[in-house]
Amino acid sequence: MFISSLDRPWGETAFLFQGFPVRKYSEIKELQKTCRYVYIMVPDEEIVLDNNNPYSLPEPFSHDEIGHRRYEVTETAEKELRTASESHEELIQMMGEIEGALHDDKELDMPKMEKSVDVMVDSIERNPDAYIWLTRIKKFDSRIYRDSLSASVWATTLGRELELERNKLGALATGALCMDIGKTALPINILNKDSRLSDDEWALMKSHVEHGVRILSDTADVSDDVLDIVRSHHERLDGSGYPGALRNNKIPLLAQIAGIVDFYVAVTTPRPYAEAISSSNAINMLYQQKGLYFSEILVNKFIQALSTYPTGSLVELSSGEVGIVISQNPGLRLRPNVILLLDQDKNPYASYPVVSLINYTHHNFNNQINVKKTLVDGEYGLDIEALSF
């Protein structure tokens, strides 16, 4: 099992990681000494945990597929936010239209979708922080397209980190946006069930891949790259995925990228059957699985793209203040820019000051202020989507 959180702060324990798999009885005994209870995560249709395979698999793609174009941050996050806000709203509206069209058995307007996606990709090229931030704070009407847009943004950000060609970034963004489109064909009671799925329900849930491929195969102008992502984003390197039990380099590169971000979004977003975990826990879970279920290179690159404290993550500072990371400072992964939400006594700020941890100090502390830990959504009663920035 995977320990996702404790009944006390991680900093008060001897555990090195915020989140770790338990493999030995001695580790359970250590937990018993420290905690009265812990929270665990169990496997479901999107969250695959550890296995007993001690050997890493060979890298499952050719290095010729990456490293084609170097992307630089060419705009500040603040200016890019102003540029991206309108297109972000249009993209959300388009996602709602797509979901409505699918429920009415209408064909998707793929050229319209790709036009909106291109604007998003252009923004992420200039500075990924803006779209990551906008997707993080927006309140969505549908969990399906909330998760799809989040996955699309992170997949594009990872593709940017991998220096993929521009046309591949577009295909990656579109494919990640569409990869759970088949869930619109499933019964709503299955999608919203707040307990473990039965074997029959699980088989039905897995069929969303087949439905998604069918929907896009019946749609004009869908590229093979997009179909590959929808068909194979639940495949895993060791053959434990579905629907084809593909292994290693049989899984297309873009589908491997989509699988990693799909996992990250799944564990860091609240669901009917599971609470969200912090970004640091999610990063550690990915780290445990690299070379087994996911490519080691891709996981390492994704962790680099996320940064130590990802944009949009809740953090508690060494001052006791609580905030949310709004943007990164290139080359200074431990010193992001943070919107302060709560003061050191955990009382809300009247306004939300923005500070840079490059030079932020607090009058009650002699040392420079750092991030103490990342937090799970909802800690200290904070609902990010309910805040108005």
* Residue 211, pLDDT score: 95
Q: All domains of the chain, ordered by start, with CATH?
A: 2-41 (no CATH), 63-306 (1.10.3210.10), 314-386 (no CATH)
Query: ∠143-147-150 over CA atoms, to 5°?
Result: 140
The pLDDT tens digits for 221-280 are 899 999 999 999 999 999 999 999 999 999 999 999 999 999 999 888 877 777 788 888
Strands in 129-264 per DSSP E: none
More confident residue, 373 or 55: 373
Q: From the CB of residue 255, how many other CB atoms can be counted at a distance below 10 Å?
A: 25
The pLDDT tens digits for 89-144 are 888 888 888 888 887 888 888 888 999 999 999 999 999 999 999 988 877 767 77
Name which of 379, 264, 262 is nearest 324 in CA terms: 379
The pLDDT tens digits for 135-177 are 888 777 677 778 899 999 999 999 999 999 999 999 999 999 9
The single-letter code of the amino acid at 165 is: E
Residue 191 pLDDT > 90: no
> Can you tell me the distance from the alpha carbon of 318 to that of 338, in angstroms, rounded to the nearest whole number?
13
State how far the alpha carbon of 18 is from the alpha carbons of 177, 281, 285, 298, 373, in Å.
30, 5, 10, 22, 9
State how far the alpha carbon of 372 is from the alpha carbons of 280, 286, 308, 316, 331, in Å.
12, 21, 12, 6, 19
Give the list of residues 6+ apart from residue 187 with CB closer than 8 angstroms, or none.
Answer: 204
Helix (H, G, I), strand (E, B) or coil at 315: strand
Lowest-pLDDT choice from 153-162, 190-199, 239-248, 367-376 = 190-199
> Can you tell me the distance from the alpha carbon of 75 to that of 311, in angstroms, rounded to the nearest whole number?
16
* Residue 52, pLDDT score: 46
Q: From the CB of residue 191, how many other CB atoms can be counted at a distance below 10 Å?
A: 16
Report cis status (omega within 30 of 0) of the bond before 243. yes
11-42 as b/e: b if 16+ CB within 10 A: eeeebeebbbbbeeeeeeeebeeebeebbebe
Helix (H, G, I), strand (E, B) or coil at 277: coil
The pLDDT tens digits for 204-222 are 999 999 999 999 999 998 9
Do the strands 354-356 and 371-374 form a parallel or antiparallel pair, or are they unpaired? unpaired
In this prediction, residue 54 has a pLDDT band, given cuts at 50, 70 and 90, of very low
Give the list of residues 6+ apart from residue 206 with CB closer than 8 angstroms, or none.
Answer: 45, 234, 242, 243
Query: Rg for the chain (alpha carbons), in Å?
Result: 21
* Residue 15, pLDDT score: 67
Give the list of residues 6+ apart from residue 236 with CB closer than 8 angstroms, or none.
Answer: 48, 251, 259, 293, 294
Q: From the CB of residue 230, how many other CB atoms can be counted at a distance below 10 Å?
A: 29
* Residue 92, pLDDT score: 86
Phi and psi torsions of 244, nearest 5°: -105, 0
* Residue 316, pLDDT score: 95
